[in-house]
Amino acid sequence: MQAATRVGLLIGSSRTGGNGAGLAVWLRQLLEDRLNAPGAAHPVELVPVDPRVAPHPLGPVVDGARLPSQVPDAAGYGAPGVRAWSRLAAGCAGLAVLSPEYNGGYPGELKNALDHLYREWAAKPVLLVTYGGGGGLRCQAQLRGVLEALRMRVVPEPVGIRLPAAYTGGSERVSPAPAHGFPGFLEPYVGAVHGGADRLREMLLEKPAGSQWCAASRRIAARMLTADMACSDARRCIPIALYSGHMHASRLLASSSTAQYTDCQDSTKA
């Protein structure tokens, strides 16, 4: 039998008695059914990642001797917990991130989980599903920036679930084991989740490394770098790279001359 492609379902909330646990069950079922719909080329297995269960690295980033971006593989991490987290992430071909909005952002444990690793996330497709009183749109925007900095390929159409007031400020919650099905307010989002799953599946099958997208970005970055630019030039080029959608180019530029990039950022702020 064909081995299933694993997709991690990274749960952003660790709040007890919240909506996250119920929404995770709802989302997992929808994604798993859609990704394995008749005609799907490969079986897909959803792997829920609960922030309260190891190897999710709840807590501050450890293993400080080297930056995660300098660690080539799981064996390179000093702490066994981080090695296990690395193996779990590396074993997933893509991700779905389910996150609530907290005070205009996303929960700290989600950032910690992402920041513990680096290469493990690179080039993987990721679907964003956020929730909150306003659909979690502000945390969605922040998460997109972070995931792109990690060189992930974000599904262009995220899902933003607006929770009714009774589910935020009141006592109603999305139960992980509802006696009579999931609440009706979730029904209008089923189509968007299916659309996201379809796009995620397409992106799982794409090969980003060496693709035209990457090659074009690399060419632009190479042109910028070979021009042996002064700081002021780099400052002009980074927004151009960002503007033209070539995030990869700007990141290459930044990583190839980190000190220069840092100078630029600082002087821009001044």
Q: Which residues here bind ligand FMN, judged by CB under 6 A?
A: 13, 15, 18-20, 100-104, 132-134, 163, 168
Cβ nearer to ligand FMN, comparing 20 with 158: 20
6 three-class SS: strand
Place of tokens 């300098």: 70
State the Cα–Cα distance between residues 227 and 4, nearest whole angstrom. Answer: 46
Cβ nearer to ligand FMN, comparing 43 with 145: 145
Residue nearest to ligand FMN (CB): 18
State the Cα–Cα distance between residues 151 and 13, nearest whole angstrom. Answer: 23
Contact 130, 140 (CB under 8 A): yes
In angstroms, the Cα distances linking 267 to 185, 217, 242, 257, 258 are: 48, 26, 19, 16, 14
Cβ nearer to ligand FMN, comparing 173 with 194: 173
The neighbouring-strand residues paired with 96 are 9, 127
State the Cα–Cα distance between residues 110 and 133, nearest whole angstrom. Answer: 19
**Tokens representing residue 56 in the block:** 């999710």
Cβ nearer to ligand FMN, comparing 27 with 95: 27
Cβ nearer to ligand FMN, comparing 100 with 183: 100
